[in-house]
Amino acid sequence: MESGGLLLWALPSALLLALLLQLSPRLRFRAKVLSYCALCLMASALTAPACLLWNGGRTVENMRIIKNVVRSFKYLYGLRFDVKGLEHFQVEGPCVIVSNHQSVLDMMGLMEILPDRCVQIGKRELLYFGSVGLIMYLGGVIFINRKSTSNAKSVMSGVGQAMTTDNVKVWIYPEGTRNGNGDLLPFKKGAFHLAIQTQVPVIPVVYSSFTTFYNPEKNLFTSGRIRVEVLPPIHTSGMTATDVTELCDTCYTTMRETFFRLSGTARRVNGSTPHLAQ
Ligand SMILES: CCCCCCCCCCCCCCCC(=O)SCCNC(=O)CCNC(=O)[C@H](O)C(C)(C)COP(=O)(O)OP(=O)(O)OC[C@H]1O[C@@H](n2cnc3c(N)ncnc32)[C@H](O)[C@@H]1OP(=O)(O)O
Ligand SMILES: CCCCCCCC/C=C\CCCCCCCC(=O)OC[C@@H](O)COP(=O)(O)O
């Protein structure tokens, strides 16, 4: 009797939900994004004990475990990454990796090519994303307060020391926030200060535009192919603080050109380069 009643409700509800998802692109888009968030939360909750058991606590070694888990997500969402230039990651010792940042899906592209002993810089709000925050903490993600330049600067100078003493690479999104509008935002300077202060190379990485398969404005989230290019390292030995702006501008220009080439799109703003961050 009870299971009959359950069927009476569950079946029509499931059918109604399926119909609604079919009819409403907005709902379908949201459901897919929600499924991604749920997957991240669930995978993090399951991976955190493995990290603790294997490596005992917060360490960059956990990134290997996290990477292997996240690399399976792409099959669920039909994403494929065509990667070029991985050999450029083979630099001796630490470096600063900079890449463009389009959406929460970037985490899959990041883990697809993440070199060993590499941590990311993340906004500190991510620490409060439940199990996702926990796994980031365990993986050694460095959290900064973007609203306070002085806080971010002091965290970054600590990072510089750790990079050289512990031989760690650092991955930074120099746009400082997600941007899915088919162009790059002006770059913030933290990554370039860090590279020059520690005299390590900057390695730019560019992901092609997601707009053909992921676009919240158009409720679009389908399968897709992403072209990724790791560019040659830019060495900073001998550079000083006065070279930060030039280094930042060089990386921005090169990455933007590469972004348009990989995305197969024309330059925006009538072909001109928008103002760089001062
Ligand atoms: C199984 C598991 C599944 C699921 C789970 C997996 C999870 C595992 C993946 C994790 C993945 C994380 C992904 C996170 C992704 C984000 O959270 S992105 C957002 C956070 N990251 C960033 O913001 C990094 C980029 N931002 C910067 O570098 C910025 O420069 C800073 C450091 C935040 C400062 O911000 P700002 O003050 O707004 O920026 P800016 O205009 O650059 O600087 C102001 C002035 O300070 C100076 N300055 C800046 N930095 C410095 C410095 N270090 N030294 C001296 N002067 C400096 C500048 O030169 C500038 O002065 P002027 O040259 O104009 O005179
Ligand atoms: C108990 C608390 C529950 C909290 C629930 C949180 C739900 C979200 C769960 C999973 C989301 C998966 C996120 C994967 C990590 C991706 C990191 C990321 O891309 O962060 C965005 C950040 O770069 C820039 O942020 P803004 O564009 O400035 O904004």
User: Which element (helix H / strand E) includes 205?
Assistant: strand 202-207
Nearest atom in ligand 2 to 107's CA: 16
The dihedral over CA atoms of 199, 59, 139, 125, expressed in degrees to the nearest 10, equals -80
What's the 110 CA to ligand 2 centre distance in angstroms? 14
What's the 125 CA to ligand 2 centre distance in angstroms? 8
Token duo for residue 43: 């995978």
pLDDT in tens, the chain (278 residues): 466 677 778 888 888 777 777 768 888 899 999 999 999 999 999 999 999 999 999 999 999 999 999 999 999 999 999 999 999 999 889 999 999 999 999 999 999 999 999 999 999 999 999 999 999 999 999 999 999 999 898 998 899 989 999 999 999 999 999 998 899 999 999 999 999 999 999 999 999 999 999 999 999 999 999 999 999 999 999 999 999 999 999 999 999 999 999 999 866 554 444 434 43
Instruction: Specify the pLDDT at position 210.
Output: 96
Q: Look up the ipTM and state it.
A: 0.95
Q: Got the DSSP string for 64-120?
A: HHHHHHHTTHHHHHTEEEEEE-GGGG--SS--EEEE---STTHHHHHHHHPPSSEEE
The angle subtended at Cα 28 by Cα 24 and Cα 32, nearest 5°, is: 170
* Ligand 2: residue whose CA is nearest its atom 15: 104
What's the 126 CA to ligand 2 centre distance in angstroms? 6
Q: Which of 35, 36, 100, 104 to mutate to test the pocket of ligand 2 (most atoms within 8 A of CB)?
A: 104
Instruction: Specify the pLDDT at position 15.
Output: 81
Instruction: Specify the pLDDT at position 11.
Output: 82
How far apart CA 238 and CA 153 sit, in angstroms, is: 21
Instruction: Specify the pLDDT at position 3.
Output: 64
* Terminal Cα-to-Cα distance of the chain (whole angstroms): 71
Q: Which ligand is nearest to the CA of 188?
A: 1
The angle subtended at Cα 206 by Cα 177 and Cα 204, nearest 5°, is: 90
Token duo for residue 203: 């390695």
Instruction: Specify the pLDDT at position 272.
Output: 46
Nearest atom in ligand 2 to 128's CA: 2
Sequence length of the chain is 278
pTM: 0.91
AA letter at 39: L
Instruction: Specify the pLDDT at position 267.
Output: 63
What are the backbone dihedrals phi and psi of residue 118, each rounded to the nearest 5 degrees, phi first? Answer: -130, 125
